[in-house]
Amino acid sequence: MSSQTLFIKSVHESFAEQGALANVIDGFKPRQAQLDMANHVAQAIEKQQHLVVEAGTGTGKTFAYLLPSILSGKKVIVSTGTKNLQEQLFHKDLPVVKNALQSGVKVALLKGRSNYLCSFRLEENFSSAPERRQKSAVTLDSQGLNDLVKVREWSSHTERGDIGELTQVSEDSMILPLITSTVDNCLGRNCPDYDACYLVKAREKAIDADLVVVNHHLYFADMALKDTGFGELIPKADVVVFDEAHQIGDIASEYFGKSFSTRQLLELASDCMQQYRVELTDVKQLLKASEKLARSAGDFRLLFAMDPSRGNWREQVQYSQFSRGFAQLYDDLKFLYDVLKMCISRSEVIDNCFERCTELLAKYEVMQDTQAFGMSLWYETTRRHVVLHQTPLSVADKFSEHTDSSQGAFIFTSATLSVNGDFAHFTKALGLDNAQQLMLESPFDYQSQSKLLVPRYLPQNNDRNRAQALANIAIPLINASKGNCFLLFTSYRMLNQVAELLSEEIDNTLLVQGQTAKSTLLDQFIDDPHAVLLGTASFWEGVDVRGDSLTCVLIDKLPFSAPDEPLLQAKSDDVRRKGGDPFKQIQLPEAVISLKQGVGRLIRDVSDKGVLAICDTRIVNRPYGAVFLASLPNMSRTRELNQAVKFLKSLHQDIKK
């Protein structure tokens, strides 16, 4: 029997009624869809093919790709959508599979560099040596000082240096950028602490491992940047699996483009000022140039509205105040460049600052070229910073070149890859025209487990009475389900309006996104049997609440992107120039996939039951609504609110029995 036949046979046997998984998972039952996926994954690995799999919720796709990946004996990279999913895969799913297979396969978890403590920057910015303390002191407020104490205590005993271990320090603490490195300020092999670097150690484990778990952002950052300090962070593999693959098109576009931000300018200025205080006190011009750049970066942010926003940079830079502010950035960056050039070889950090300054000048030129073809030029602002982006309208050529040259198997899987039964939107975006395709339906009985409500007589989406109408629908659903509801919105504005109305009408605990961290909100939702959670985009996917804790999901409207969203605008113009229809080719498919993600929050297990309310009549009275409905699970449908309420009440009667 050939090795290929033995491999496929081993995969098949692992999912059998008395197989490896059944031996370690109580109540395990073979699922044909899971076995079909595992067999296709095994064949793709063996033949070094590319495979695209849509595996409906409940298929068991994680085990369906993990078992054949491990049994193949090849080097495997598994990339997930978020760091939380990374942790779940590494600490929960992989141990089960290793135990089932009684495998000694080496596994490793690898995150981006900003997730690891940089001992050099900790000492550089907060030196514990008496003779350097005064010079290296960075100004911190009381909270920052409190966080520094926690960081120092943790740094004395951590083994992995993973910032995720710092649970007592807020994710947005001002201390974190000062104790971690970026691709810009990392000294690489020139760092005095290189041998003790936590990132280096993590990468060494990844090189030595048989299976490495990363996330999409790290994968594409590594692929696009090819970090000069360490070479590629992610080792070369024979098999690459993208879980939650529906996200990778947008992420790849982000990393294949370029960005220029005031954060980069301010960090450069800060590091230069630090070097002036510590090493180059004789170079007064270094302090002057750094302060000028920091000032102009701050002034540039003040030109934009205070609320976070996005827009078209080509159009924005035409206004005189923005063109002047942008030109001032160049003048001050060039001044700092000239000063740094005179200081080369004075210290490793100064040499790094000079390289960063040179790179920023090159990025400035990119953002100045507003006539670039095939690119979107856009800006986004946060509370403190402005980021200018140049993003390619298509990554198909670059990504297909990457997959073809890797000479290995690439597996792409998600519960939401197709639109109306077609993978074209996904495969064309990534140049995967020759990939094998497999579509597996969910094993759940949606007809009996769920009901889809599309309420009648709703005001238009821009009607000032819209929030009140949504609250009027939500209240009876919340009462009937006794809480246990997700209310998902496409905007913070509508979320906050409905939250305010509900706070006056119901006694249930309201958990509103923005009040605290996402993970904390989810924990509170699960712990409180009568809670109602209101969330926006980040709660539409990657959230897994099973059983009676969630029996109702309300979605405020179909999740079409705003037509003036700059990247969408640029892509639409490009499609239009080629004689295509931007709505059918871009806006509709993206909205369908987003809606499928939101819908997927409701039924997560064979025993789950509940109501899905989509409060947008366009899904039934516009021609394109049929595409949405054809892409959703086959739920029983109603237009009557009282029918949905009756269904929810019957669920609670069943629970009491």
Where among 159, 179, 199 does a domain terminate? 179
Asked if residues 91 and 154 have their Cβ atoms less than 8 Å apart, the reply is no
Residue 242 lies in a domain: no
C-alpha distances (whole Å) from 469 to each of 473, 491, 552, 557, 597 are: 6, 16, 17, 12, 24
Same domain, 457 and 564: yes
pLDDT of residue 286: 95
Same domain, 383 and 334: yes
Residues 198-227, mean pLDDT to the nearest whole number? 86
Question: Where on the phi/psi map is residue 473: left (φ > 0), alpha (ψ -120 to 50), or beta?
Answer: alpha
C-alpha distances (whole Å) from 491 to each of 64, 380, 543 are: 36, 17, 18
Q: What is the pLDDT of residues 95-130, one digit of tens each?
A: 999 999 999 999 999 988 888 999 988 888 787 554
pLDDT at 131 over 50: no
- Read off the pLDDT band of 3 (50, 70, 90): low
pLDDT of residue 126: 80
- Read off the pLDDT band of 225 (50, 70, 90): low
Residues 179-185, mean pLDDT to the nearest whole number? 83
Same domain, 546 and 427: no
Lowest mean pLDDT among 259-268, 289-298, 397-406: 397-406
Residue 99 lies in a domain: yes
pLDDT at 591 over 80: yes
Beta strands in 288-404 (DSSP E): 310-312, 375-381, 386-392
Residue 220 lies in a domain: no
pLDDT of residue 490: 92
- Read off the pLDDT band of 226 (50, 70, 90): low
Where among 377, 392, 407 does a domain terminate? 392
Q: What is the pLDDT of residues 11-25, one digit of tens each?
A: 888 998 889 998 998
Same domain, 472 and 582: yes
pLDDT of residue 338: 97
Residues 133-141, mean pLDDT to the nearest whole number? 58
pLDDT of residue 130: 46
Residue 246 lies in a domain: no
pLDDT of residue 227: 39
461 or 624: which leads in pLDDT:
624
- Read off the pLDDT band of 390 (50, 70, 90): very high
pLDDT of residue 1: 55
The count of domains in the chain is 4
Residues 296-324, mean pLDDT to the nearest whole number? 94
Same domain, 611 and 530: yes
457 or 327: which leads in pLDDT:
327
Asked if residues 441 and 56 have their Cβ atoms less than 8 Å apart, the reply is yes
Same domain, 510 and 611: yes
Asked if residues 602 and 544 have their Cβ atoms less than 8 Å apart, the reply is no
The CATH number for 10's domain is 3.40.50
Residues 266-295, mean pLDDT to the nearest whole number? 93
pLDDT of residue 236: 86
Residue 252 lies in a domain: no
Q: What is the largest CA-CA distance in the chain?
A: 82
Residues 193-219, mean pLDDT to the nearest whole number? 91
pLDDT of residue 132: 45
654 or 196: which leads in pLDDT:
196
pLDDT of residue 171: 73
Q: How far apart are CA 378 and CA 390, in angstroms?
A: 7
- Read off the pLDDT band of 273 (50, 70, 90): very high
| Residue among 593, 590, 624, 596 at smallest CA distance from 612 | 596
Residue 611 lies in a domain: yes
Asked if residues 569 and 546 have their Cβ atoms less than 8 Å apart, the reply is no
Q: How far apart are CA 369 and CA 382, in angstroms?
A: 24
Q: What is the pLDDT of residues 465-522, one digit of tens each?
A: 999 999 999 999 999 999 889 999 999 899 999 999 999 999 999 999 877 777 788 8
Asked if residues 336 and 264 have their Cβ atoms less than 8 Å apart, the reply is no
Where among 153, 179, 205 does a domain terminate? 179
pLDDT at 133 over 70: no
Name the residue range of residue 99's domain: 3-110+395-440
Q: Is the pTM of this model over 0.75?
A: yes
The CATH number for 538's domain is 3.40.50.300
Sole residue written with tokens 């496929």: 8
Same domain, 90 and 57: yes
User: Above pLDDT 70, what percent of the chain?
Assistant: 95
Q: How far apart are CA 644 and CA 226, in angstroms?
A: 53
Residue 453 lies in a domain: yes
Q: What is the pLDDT of residues 512-554, one digit of tens each?
A: 987 777 778 888 888 998 999 999 877 887 777 776 778 999 9
3-state secondary structure of 646: helix
Q: What is the pLDDT of residues 616-631, one digit of tens each?
A: 999 999 999 999 999 9
- Read off the pLDDT band of 603 (50, 70, 90): confident
3-state secondary structure of 151: helix
Sign of the dihedral defined by the CA atoms of residues 196, 198, 203, 207, in that order: positive
Same domain, 304 and 404: no
Same domain, 93 and 135: no
Listed in sequence order, the residues at least 6 apart from 100 whose beta carbon sits closer than 8 Å to its beta carbon are 14, 20, 21, 23, 24, 25, 67
Residue 270 tokens, joined: 């800060």
Same domain, 369 and 434: no
Q: What is the DSSP letter of 326?
A: H
The CATH number for 296's domain is 1.20.1440
Residue 215 lies in a domain: no
pLDDT of residue 228: 41
Same domain, 435 and 467: no
Residues 347-358, mean pLDDT to the nearest whole number? 93
Q: What is the DSSP letter of 161?
A: -
pLDDT of residue 352: 92
Residue 492 tokens, joined: 């913070």
Q: How far apart are CA 249 and CA 396, in angstroms?
A: 9
Same domain, 125 and 175: yes
